[in-house]
């Protein structure tokens, strides 16, 4: 055995010791509660129900059915011919058939209203990697990206941790359903200026996480005009595009660009992934679609650090090139998500709780501000802790999403069965009833 010697441990990097990984945020305390006491229909019916995880589990049967019918196409078939080619394939361009399948899938989601060139598709291991990679390419350490609030808490890590880039918030509030306004954009830009920070771009999520709503066409136009005026980049994270409840309500930045004849489009980059729309987060399939050649080339080179397993590329290329399958999947998935959304909205309304009007995503944005003892972040966190402790529901507090108004919560509804959702709604109903009785 090695004789261990006592000496001050040689330091790790500043990146390593920083807390920018974000795991000390309250966002994770709810998860820990769930990990320690997870709900199970039969084994642990009084456990914590996970409503903090934006996963899509409503359409697996469609995928499973596909695999059953097409096992030869998606595996390496009998005797595994083709295995060898895939096992060796580590070209950072990615399987051409896979890129083509992704491009066509993205087109289908947008109802054919935008075209995607497979040669502009860069593959990364998840949108997590895609967002970080783009940040490395578009900004230097100390620079900033402007991000509308409320935003996905993971951005704090993905955009900032190893890149050294900052996030300056674009404040949005409920007075106009949290939409981005030109005033808010200008204000954020000024905030950065005052702090002597160079702004390199704006990053929007459309459909929005956590709002569960698509960005309107007019707002997208304003944002595009703004970044053009300031000569900065625009990253559009569209990972929930296939989860809009109806195809016509989602407008992609790609459509705006197409309408403008792709003028000045080199500043625009789209992030996509199969983790939400297809419900395959484990497979780590992310993409960057850039209208800027240099960004495509550089992103491709950088993707060496985070390539998608060729085994997975092969499986999904097969599945996603089956246009009949994808058309059907997209349609049914949207339907089921809409139904699930309506179910939770109605359940919450019956309990006296209102949500933001949503039309996309795997969650709703719930307004519990009437329940806060004080309209402050502390008030929100106090309420949140009691929801975890007493209702045994892990939901995400708005403050973890940097929402400037306390009292909003993100509640996921697609990562569980209908029965479990019923149980959750019942608990909420009882809780609200109890409060009514207490107040009376």
Which 8-state DSSP code applies to residue 274? S
What is the closest distance, in whole angstroms, from the C-beta atom of residue 184 to another protein in the complex? 22
Six token digits for residue 226: 């703004």
Closest CA to 97 of 328, 329, 315: 315
Closest CA to 242 of 210, 272, 282, 219: 272
What is the closest distance, in whole angstroms, from the C-beta atom of residue 310 to another protein in the complex? 3
Hey, which residues does 367 pair with through a beta bridge? 354, 408
Hey, which residues does 170 pair with through a beta bridge? 148
For residues 200 and 392, which CB has a smaller minimum distance to another protein in the complex?
200
Query: 């246009």: which residue's tokens?
Result: 323
What is the closest distance, in whole angstroms, from the C-beta atom of residue 105 to another protein in the complex? 17
Measured in degrees and rounded to the nearest 5, phi and psi for residue 363 equal -160, 165
Six token digits for residue 200: 């390199």
C-beta neighbour count of 239 within 10 angstroms: 27
What is the closest distance, in whole angstroms, from the C-beta atom of residue 432 to another protein in the complex? 31
- Inter-residue contact 49 to 392 (CB < 8 Å): yes
- Inter-residue contact 355 to 348 (CB < 8 Å): yes
Positive or negative torsion for Cα 432, 433, 437, 438: negative
For residues 225 and 354, which CB has a smaller minimum distance to another protein in the complex?
225
For residues 166 and 233, which CB has a smaller minimum distance to another protein in the complex?
233
What is the closest distance, in whole angstroms, from the C-beta atom of residue 5 to another protein in the complex? 5
Measured in degrees and rounded to the nearest 5, phi and psi for residue 311 equal -60, -40
**Neighbouring residues of 440: CB distance < 8 A, sequence distance ≥ 6:** none
- Inter-residue contact 26 to 173 (CB < 8 Å): no
For residues 90 and 176, which CB has a smaller minimum distance to another protein in the complex?
90
For residues 278 and 344, which CB has a smaller minimum distance to another protein in the complex?
278
Q: Tell how strand 363-367 and strand 286-290 pair up.
A: unpaired
Six token digits for residue 48: 């914590």
What is the closest distance, in whole angstroms, from the C-beta atom of residue 136 to another protein in the complex? 6
For residues 242 and 347, which CB has a smaller minimum distance to another protein in the complex?
242
Closest CA to 368 of 432, 436, 438: 432
For residues 112 and 142, which CB has a smaller minimum distance to another protein in the complex?
142
Q: CA–CA separation, 211 vs 255, rounded Å?
A: 22
What is the closest distance, in whole angstroms, from the C-beta atom of residue 437 to another protein in the complex? 39
User: Which residues are catalytic, by number?
Assistant: 152, 237, 239, 276
Q: CA–CA separation, 392 vs 378, rounded Å?
A: 20
What is the closest distance, in whole angstroms, from the C-beta atom of residue 419 to another protein in the complex? 17
Start-to-end CA distance of the chain, whole Å, equals 69
For residues 162 and 410, which CB has a smaller minimum distance to another protein in the complex?
162
Positive or negative torsion for Cα 142, 147, 152, 158: negative
Instruction: Please state at what angle helix 323-350 crosses helix 60-69, rounded to 10 degrees.
Output: 160
Measured in degrees and rounded to the nearest 5, phi and psi for residue 64 equal -65, -40
């Amino acid at each position: 055995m090695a004789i261990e010697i006592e000496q001050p441990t040689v330091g790790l990097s500043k990146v390593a010791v920083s807390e920018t990984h974000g795991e000390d945020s309250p966002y994770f305390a709810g998860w820990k509660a769930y990990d320690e006491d997870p709900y199970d229909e039969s084994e642990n019916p009084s456990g914590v129900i996970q409503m903090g995880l934006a996963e899509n589990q409503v359409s697996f049967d469609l995928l499973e059915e596909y695999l059953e019918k097409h096992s030869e196409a998606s595996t390496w078939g009998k005797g595994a011919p083709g295995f060898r080619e895939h096992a060796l394939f580590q070209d950072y361009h990615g399987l051409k058939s896979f890129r083509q399948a992704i491009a066509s899938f993205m087109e289908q989601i947008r109802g054919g209203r935008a075209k995607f060139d497979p040669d502009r598709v860069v593959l990364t291991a998840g949108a997590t990697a895609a967002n970080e990679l783009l940040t490395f390419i578009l900004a230097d350490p100390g620079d900033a990206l402007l991000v509308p609030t409320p935003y996905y808490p993971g951005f704090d890590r993905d955009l900032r941790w190893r890149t050294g880039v900052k996030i300056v918030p674009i404040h949005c509030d409920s007075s106009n359903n949290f939409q981005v306004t030109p005033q808010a954009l200008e204000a954020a830009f000024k905030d950065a200026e005052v702090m002597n920070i160079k702004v390199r771009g704006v990053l929007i999520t459309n459909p929005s996480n956590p709002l569960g709503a698509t960005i309107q066409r007019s707002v997208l136009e304003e944002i595009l005009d703004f970044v053009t005026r300031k000569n900065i980049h625009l990253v559009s994270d569209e990972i929930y595009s296939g989860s809009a409840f109806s195809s016509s309500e989602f407008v992609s930045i790609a459509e705006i660009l197409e309408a403008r004849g792709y003028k000045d489009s080199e500043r625009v980059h789209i992030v996509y992934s199969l983790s939400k729309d297809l419900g395959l987060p484990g497979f780590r399939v992310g993409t960057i679609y850039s209208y800027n050649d240099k960004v495509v080339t550089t992103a491709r080179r950088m993707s060496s650090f985070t390539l998608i397993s060729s085994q997975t590329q092969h499986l999904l290329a097969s599945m996603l090139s089956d246009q009949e399958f994808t058309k059907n999947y997209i349609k049914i998935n949207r339907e089921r998500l809409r139904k699930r959304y309506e179910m939770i909205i109605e359940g919450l309304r019956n309990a006296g709780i209102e949500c933001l009007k949503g039309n996309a995503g795997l969650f709703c944005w719930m307004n519990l501000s009437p329940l806060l003892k004080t309209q402050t972040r502390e008030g929100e966190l106090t309420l949140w802790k009691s929801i975890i402790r007493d209702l045994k529901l892990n939901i995400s507090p708005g403050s973890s999403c940097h929402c400037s108004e306390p009292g909003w919560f993100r509640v996921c509804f697609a990562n569980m069965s209908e029965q479990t959702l019923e149980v959750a709604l019942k608990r909420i109903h009882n809780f609200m009833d109890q409060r009514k009785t207490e107040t009376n």
